[in-house]
Amino acid sequence: MIFITGASGFVGGHLVDYLLAKGHRVRCLARSERAGKSLSAKGAEVIRGDVTRSETLTGILSPEDFVIHLAGVIEEKGNATFDAVHCNGTANLVAEAKQAGVRHFFYQSALGADKNSWSGYLRTKAEAEEIVKHSGLRHTIFRPSLIIGPWDGFTKKLIDILKLSPVIPIPGKGMAKFQPVYIKDWLVCIGNVIENPDSYVSTYEIGGLEQLTYKEIVETLSRSMGHSRPTLNIPMGLMKLGAAVIQSILPSPPVTTDQLRLLEQDNICDPKSIEKDFGFAPVKYEEALKEFIFG
């Protein structure tokens, strides 16, 4: 049995479809009734629960389970803080996994995770990694860069902006580099781990073939959409000020100040990381866009 948290998210949704198509038995942890119904309709087994509430996890795992822990938040909302979800949630699930003696534990971290990071997101991802590493469980940790594909929030936000704006807005200089990785390639990587877990007991950085600046990413997307528009660099200080004001008003702002700060630092690894660790070359960014947006 493959047990998944975060199954209703972008990556989790694709993973559930991928595993079910390959004939795997899948059980998902769902916080809401809506998410549970959607996952059940796909053919997955569903357990109602929340990683931040340890009492809802009691007895949900078995020794034969392969646990895939994807649950995470990219912005804090109410009680769903970085510490609550990434750290406490991971500790709760690890404790249950140890109690059950599961056969393997997979954790989805993030490229750039660092216990000393200014970013609450990256700091807590690193702290969660340590919880997994010191658990005594046989484990695999992925540190992916930007994952793109159908339904991904990053690309959707950019498309919405590009459809409405007469220019291509770039926060700051847009020179921070990223390595977009296509969800289909990420699925191949996790598929390798599931099929041969003994060969992947380590931490892996996951990135695409290209190290692209934020500006290059947006310009490539705009070009793929058939737009020919000039870029407009908006001072980052002004962007952060606007984001701070909007954050104080809206419960779910389009962008947070922390997310803007992440656009000021590189998020890259070895361009051949996937090829070296998983034996294949991932598709390039523009090729992925053509397939999942314009294919």
Instruction: Say yes or no to pLDDT of 295 above 60.
Output: no
Which stretch of DSSP H or E encloses residue 20? helix 10-21
Report the candidate in 122, 129, 172 with the shortest Cα–Cα distance to residue 145.
Answer: 122
Highest-confidence segment of 16-25, 33-42, 149-158, 250-259: 16-25
Adjacent-strand bridge partners of 1 = none
User: How many whole angstroms separate alpha carbon 6 and alpha carbon 72?
Assistant: 7
Q: Which residues contact 4 (CB under 8 A, 6 or more apart)?
A: 12, 15, 16, 26, 27, 28, 29, 67, 68, 70
Instruction: Say yes or no to pLDDT of 261 above 70.
Output: yes
Report the candidate in 82, 169, 184, 95 with the shortest Cα–Cα distance to residue 137.
Answer: 95
Structure pTM?
0.93
3-state DSSP assignment of residue 139: strand
Question: Is the domain 2-144 a CATH 3.40.50.1100 member?
Answer: no
